[in-house]
């Protein structure tokens, strides 16, 4: 059962009826991990639910479902976003990368390898979002992007990232187990590996 609120009145609707009460299903084309998909979608489906429920890409985790924990972080056109806060239909034509799409065959992405080498996860639930966020963070730094926490905006690039800046730039990704020192070490190592 699902609830709908309209005009202050709450109505309970069987979940199966959602697709029937929807306006016409749309067929956006998105590229996910290098593969094009044309999918019939209810316009209310979040990107997170599309990835997990429709495509079986369960690496992206549903944490808070409110955009506060970062467990659902994916890359859209190279930028990190919380997939729980965006509708799938809004990404027509976009290039979406999940944690499953970072590796090249059997070769892990340098950030994935660094997370393993530096034991940058404990329970592992938030790790996929942390890894996607770290990939974007390093790409941002390579391009010279500064953030509100950049100590000296005249110094840019991966080499100029301080541990504090890495922690602050990763602050949208919460690790409840407290693996932050190892996460910072992994991000630093992955940045130096390139």
Can you give the pLDDT at residue 156?
Answer: 85
d(CA 119, CA 186): 8
Strands 79-82 and 73-76: antiparallel
Range of the domain at 54: 25-101
Q: What is the pTM of this model?
A: 0.82
Asked if the structure places residue 52 within a domain, the reply is: yes
- Of 60, 83, 101, the last residue of a domain is 101
Q: Cβ distance 130 to 115 under 8 Å? A: yes
Per-residue pLDDT at 194: 66
pLDDT value at position 13?
Answer: 45
- Residue 132 sits in a domain of what CATH number? 1.10.150.120
Residues 95 and 114 in one domain: no
Query: Looking at the 3D structure of the chain, how many domains does it have?
Result: 2
Residue 166 has pLDDT above 70, yes or no: yes
Structure-token match 């499953």, residue found: 100
Domain presence at residue 45: yes
User: Residue 91 pLDDT > 90, yes or no?
Assistant: yes
Please tell me which of 24-28, 99-103, 117-121, 190-194 the model is most confident about, judged by mean pLDDT.
Answer: 99-103
| CATH code for the domain of 68 | 3.10.20.30
93 CB contacts (<8 Å, ≥6 apart)?
28, 29, 30
Whether residue 46 lies inside any domain: the answer is yes
Largest CA distance in the chain: 57
**63 and 97 share one domain:** yes
Among 9-18, 98-107, 133-142, name the one with the lowest average pLDDT. Answer: 9-18
């Amino acid at each position: 059962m699902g609830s709908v609120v309209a005009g202050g009145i709450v109505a309970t609707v069987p979940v199966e009826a959602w697709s029937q009460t929807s306006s016409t299903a749309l067929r956006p084309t998105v590229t996910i991990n290098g593969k094009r998909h044309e999918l019939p979608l209810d316009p209310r489906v979040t990107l997170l639910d599309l990835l997990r429920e429709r495509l079986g890409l369960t690496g992206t985790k549903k944490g808070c479902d409110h955009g506060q924990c970062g467990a659902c972080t994916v890359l859209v056109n190279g930028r990190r976003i919380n997939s729980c806060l965006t509708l799938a239909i809004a990404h027509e034509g976009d290039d979406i990368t999940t944690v499953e799409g970072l590796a090249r065959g059997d070769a892990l992405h340098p950030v994935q390898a660094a997370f393993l080498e530096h034991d940058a996860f404990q329970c592992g639930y938030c790790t996929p979002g942390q890894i996607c966020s770290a990939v974007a963070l390093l790409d941002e730094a390579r391009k010279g992007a500064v953030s509100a926490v950049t100590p000296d905006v005249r110094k840019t690039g991966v080499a100029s990232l301080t541990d504090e800046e890495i922690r602050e730039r990763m602050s949208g990704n919460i690790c409840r187990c407290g693996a932050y020192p190892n996460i910072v070490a992994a991000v630093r190592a992955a940045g130096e590996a390139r």
